[in-house]
Amino acid sequence: MGDFRARDADRDRAVETIEAAYVDGQLGDADRELRVSRALSAETLDELTGLTRDLQGAAAHEVVRPAPLSPAQLHAVASDRRPARTGLVVAGVVAAVVGVLALVPLVFLSTGNSDWTSSTGIDAPAVSSQAAAAEPASFEMTPGQVRRFLRAYEKRFGTLEAFEVGFFPQRVGVQVPVRGARPRMERWTWDGDWRQDTTAAAVRGPSQRVDAGAIDVRRLFANIEVAEQGLDVEEGRFTHALLVRWNGEPTELNIYVGNELGESGYLSTTPAGEVQRRHPYAP
């Protein structure tokens, strides 16, 4: 039996493992680049496992494979798929209907929900708010998710250029260029899906286009740690990062940290991750 096909989520987990191994010194530059490239193009789970098997901490990102069926389970599945006799089918349908009708009063009494009524007049239970709250966020500020955003942006707009890109813990905000003779842009948000926030408008101020594809994702996250620890912000945590360019100056990737007391600072870097200036908290 062939290996299982890899999903985008599997590839992202593998890339995160490789990046973490690179940051803590397990991999050199060339090895890291080769493994990331192969992980992003991997088609099967075996390929991803082979790229991370020898890395410390890889178990935390291990790909979960579907468990194979036992012979008894295979026999049961095969039996379920055999055509049944007409009499047995009718009997089964009747029994199912009787069972459902018997459960309706119990469902109605236990939920007490009368906001939705079907064509039969039977009240349906509401969706559990706890179950809805348990759903994971679609975007989190991780290396794999940032790469996913860059792929989605290029696919959606056919470019990696923007007037500004803002990375936040659970979303990305982009000023997307609009084609035309004059500089215009639309504001879009990515949180796992695209949402257009504004229609086309004139670009205000001296901002110029930036290339999001120039961001070194690994060094971005390394610099986030530097900013959190080296800007004199007590218990400072990453708040956002802005990719911007002003008045013909070089493009900047500014990383901001803050705390609950309103204290903040930022680290100014190039898109490639070279630190240009530090702006620590100043009372």
The answer on 115 and 46 residing in a single domain is no
Residue 157 has a pLDDT of 95
Which pLDDT value is given to residue 137?
A: 55
- Domain for residue 2, yes or no? no
Flag whether pLDDT at 179 surpasses 90.
Answer: no
Which of the pair, 40 or 166, is modelled with greater confidence? 166
Give the number of domains in the chain: 3
Q: List pLDDT tens digits, range 48-89.
A: 899 999 998 765 445 444 555 555 655 554 454 444 444 444
- Same domain, yes or no: 277 and 160: yes
Give me the chain's average pLDDT, please. 78
26, part of any domain:
yes
263 vs 111: which has the higher pLDDT: 263
Q: Are residues 174 and 261 in the same domain?
A: yes
Looking at the domain assignment, is residue 75 inside a domain?
no
Do 156 and 217 share a structural domain? yes
- Mark whether 168 and 263 lie in a shared domain: yes
Domain-embedded: residue 73: no
Q: Are residues 175 and 214 in the same domain?
A: yes
Regarding whether 154 and 280 lie in a shared domain, the answer is yes
Q: What is the DSSP string of the chain?
A: -PPPBPPHHHHHHHHHHHHHHHHTTSS-HHHHHHHHHHHHH--BHHHHHHHHTTSTTGGGGPPPPPPPPPHHHHHHHHHHHSPPPHHHHHHHHHHHHHHHHHHHHHHHHHH---S-B-TTS-B-PPPPHHHHHTSPPS--SSHHHHHHHHHHHHHHHS-SEESEEEEETTEEEEEEEE-SSS-EEEEEEESSSEEE-S--EEPPTTB--EEGGG--HHHHHHHHHHHHHHSS-TT-EEEEEEEE-BTTPPPEEEEEEE-TTS-EEEEEE-TT--EEEEE----
17 and 43 both lie in a single domain? yes
- Report yes or no on 133 lying in a domain: no
Residue-wise pLDDT for 15-54, tens only, equals 888 878 887 788 887 788 788 878 887 888 888 899 999 9
* Of 45, 40, 84, the residue nearest 61 (C-alpha): 45
Last residue of a domain, one of 126, 156, 181: 126
Same-domain pairing of 90 and 206: no
111 and 159 part of one domain:
no
* Residue 46: closest CA among 23, 67, 62: 62
Query: Do 260 and 212 share a domain, yes or no?
Result: yes
Can you give the residue range of the structural domain that contains 197?
A: 139-283
Asked whether residue 67 is domain-assigned, the answer is no
Statement to judge: residues 94 and 181 lie in one domain: no
